[in-house]
């Protein structure tokens, strides 16, 4: 599974993120260990309070565990992974909390440790933790028989179209798929040999090259979203300058926005708005189905939890009633019957715990399968919408370039007429 981690502060903000049930289908607090409090937010306050006795600013270590999207991973696999990570990073026995998130048919876990050793009141050092996590991640793929990402085999094979959260949000506002947008810009860069050819290649895809505020080259969508060219293509700024030169001759961002506003016809803008309206209408029933499924799944889980709690209470009472008290109890201890009953009770309690876990896992897997089927429909609708918007962007570029093509054609025709008039044709 993919392991992403960081040392950090801001415990309350992190706690609210862990408990955020607005952006997640389901949030489940699996464990709060080593704190006086038994809930996430109060535990975060404790961790911060303890850190005040030290000079440590980044008093938390936050880890997300992301298994392959198509795998339904048991809780025990997450627990074993966390134990291995604790041992490798020197966090064994440190206070921690584990929270599970489910979103769009995928289940992943977050684990947060306090880095402060309460005995020595010092922060636990974790040198090279990213390298160690990478080794653990590889081992988890091999142990569980999952297909390992190619980037783990060779760092040169990492997807060059990886993007940041900010880039994703920008592309989302622009109505584009962020990965497709990044790939389009990289393709334009690959086929261009200078600023003019890059400008033309981008405009053929409905994008525009401009001069940013920091005298850097930027790419703009027709809606005015601005992306740094160097980040989109994964190059250093000096490499971009070496190929394109200084951006002084390009329009500024504001000038490009004005240029786009003039060259785009209201008709094409209306087409784009209509495409978004149609997409929103198509997504509405899917969103309603998603919300209804979320509520139904939550109710099913609550019923299972309530039923297991009632059964656990009855089974615990039955096991307790086997233990006799008074003179009979004393006789059972003398004869060894008490030890036999206690051993039987322990074994039954263990099997009952395993049974309850298996029932819950079976319910989770069934619900995840149902949610994944719905997510495939949602993703297909999103992909259709992104393709429609991209096609409209290309139409915008073709329409914008049409006058220049007509002008060039008219110039050729006039030139040919002049040649015929001079007897040169």
Please check whether residues 41 and 126 belong to one and the same domain. yes
Q: What is the CATH number of the domain that holds 24?
A: 3.30.930.30
Three-state SS annotation for the chain: CEEEEEEECCHHHHHHHHCCCCCCCEEEEEEEECCCCCCHHHHHHHHHHHHCCCCCCCCEEEEEEECCCCCCCCHHHHHHHHHHHHHHHCCCCCCEEEEEEEECCEEEEEEEEECEECCCCEECCCCCHHHHHHHHHHHHHHHHCCCCCHHHHCHHHCCCCCCCHHHHHHHHHCCCCHHHHHHHHHHHHHHCCCHHHHHHHHHCCCEEEEECCCCCEEEEECCCCEEEHHHHHCCCHHHHHHHHCCHHHCCEHHHHHHHHHHHCCHHHHHHHHHHHHHHHHHHHHHHHHHHHHHHHHHHHHHHHHHHHHHHHHHHHHHHHHCCCCHHHHHHHHHHCHHHHHHHHHHHHHHHHHHHHHHHHHHHHHHHHHHHHHHHHHHHHHHHHHHHHHHHHHHHHHHHHHHHHHHHHHHHHHHHHHHHHHCCCC
Q: Which of 263, 280, 313 finishes a domain? A: 263
Tell me, yes or no, whether 421 lies in a domain: no
**Residue 104 domain boundaries:** 2-157
Please check whether residues 252 and 315 belong to one and the same domain. no
Counting the structural domains of the chain, the total is 3
Tell me, yes or no, whether 425 lies in a domain: no
Tell me, yes or no, whether 413 lies in a domain: no
The whole-number pLDDT of residue 63 equals: 94
Tell me, yes or no, whether 419 lies in a domain: no
Please check whether residues 276 and 379 belong to one and the same domain. yes
Please check whether residues 172 and 106 belong to one and the same domain. no
Please check whether residues 117 and 255 belong to one and the same domain. no
Please check whether residues 171 and 209 belong to one and the same domain. yes
Please check whether residues 399 and 337 belong to one and the same domain. yes
Please check whether residues 282 and 240 belong to one and the same domain. no
Tokens representing residue 329 in the block: 């109890």
- Tell me: the pLDDT tens digits for 185-221? 998 999 888 999 999 888 888 788 999 887 789 999 8
Distance separating the N- and C-terminal Cα atoms of the chain: 71
- Tell me: the pLDDT tens digits for 262-283? 766 566 667 777 777 777 887 8
Q: Which of 238, 263, 288 finishes a domain? A: 263
pTM value > 0.75:
no
Q: What percent of the chain has pLDDT over 90?
A: 46
Please check whether residues 152 and 10 belong to one and the same domain. yes
Tell me, yes or no, whether 113 lies in a domain: yes
Q: Which of 239, 263, 287 finishes a domain? A: 263
Tell me, yes or no, whether 66 lies in a domain: yes
- Tell me: the pLDDT tens digits for 303-361? 999 999 999 999 999 999 999 999 988 998 899 999 999 999 999 999 999 999 999 98
Place of tokens 């951006």: 247
Please check whether residues 218 and 334 belong to one and the same domain. no
Please check whether residues 6 and 153 belong to one and the same domain. yes
Tell me, yes or no, whether 411 lies in a domain: no
The rounded distance, in Å, linking the Cα atoms of 89 and 6 is 12
């Amino acid at each position: 599974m993919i392991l992403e981690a960081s040392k950090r502060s801001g415990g309350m903000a992190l706690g609210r993120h862990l408990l955020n049930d607005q952006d997640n289908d389901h949030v489940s607090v699996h464990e709060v260990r080593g704190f006086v409090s038994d809930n996430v937010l109060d535990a975060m306050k404790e961790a911060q309070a303890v850190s005040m006795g030290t000079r440590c600013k980044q008093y938390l270590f936050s880890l997300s565990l992301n298994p392959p999207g198509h795998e339904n991973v048991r809780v025990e696999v997450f627990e074993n992974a966390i134990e291995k990570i604790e041992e490798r990073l020197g966090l064994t026995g440190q206070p921690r909390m584990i929270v599970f998130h489910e979103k769009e048919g995928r289940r992943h876990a977050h684990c947060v440790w306090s880095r402060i050793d309460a005995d020595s009141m010092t922060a636990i050092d974790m040198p090279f933790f990213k390298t160690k996590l990478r080794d653990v991640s590889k081992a988890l793929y091999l142990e569980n028989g999952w297909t390992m990402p190619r980037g783990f085999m060779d760092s040169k094979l990492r997807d060059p179209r990886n993007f940041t959260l900010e880039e994703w949000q920008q592309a989302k506002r622009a109505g584009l798929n962020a990965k497709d947008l990044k790939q389009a810009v990289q393709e334009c860069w690959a086929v261009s040999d200078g600023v003019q050819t890059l400008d033309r290649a981008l405009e053929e895809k409905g994008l525009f090259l401009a001069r940013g505020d920091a005298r850097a080259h930027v790419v703009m969508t027709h809606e005015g979203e601005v992306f740094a060219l160097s980040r989109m293509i994964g190059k250093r700024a000096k490499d971009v300058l070496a190929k394109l030169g200084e951006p002084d001759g390009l329009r500024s961002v504001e000038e490009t926005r004005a240029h786009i506003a003039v060259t785009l016809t209201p008709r094409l803008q209306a087409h784009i708005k209509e495409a978004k309206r149609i997409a929103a209408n198509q997504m509405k029933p899917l969103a309603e189905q998603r919300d209804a499924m979320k509520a139904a799944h939550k109710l099913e889980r609550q019923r299972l939890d309530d039923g297991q709690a009632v059964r656990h209470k009855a089974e615990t009472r039955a096991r307790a009633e086997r233990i006799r008290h008074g003179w009979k109890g004393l006789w059972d201890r003398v004869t060894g019957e008490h030890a036999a009953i206690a051993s039987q009770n322990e074994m039954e309690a263990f099997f009952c715990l395993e049974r309850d876990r298996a029932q819950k896992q079976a319910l989770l897997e069934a619900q995840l399968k149902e949610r994944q089927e719905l997510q495939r429909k949602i993703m297909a609708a999103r992909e259709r919408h992104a393709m429609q918007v991209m096609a409209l962007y290309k139409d915008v570029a073709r329409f914008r370039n049409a006058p220049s093509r007509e002008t060039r054609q008219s110039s050729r025709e006039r030139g040919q007429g002049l040649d015929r008039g001079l007897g040169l044709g």
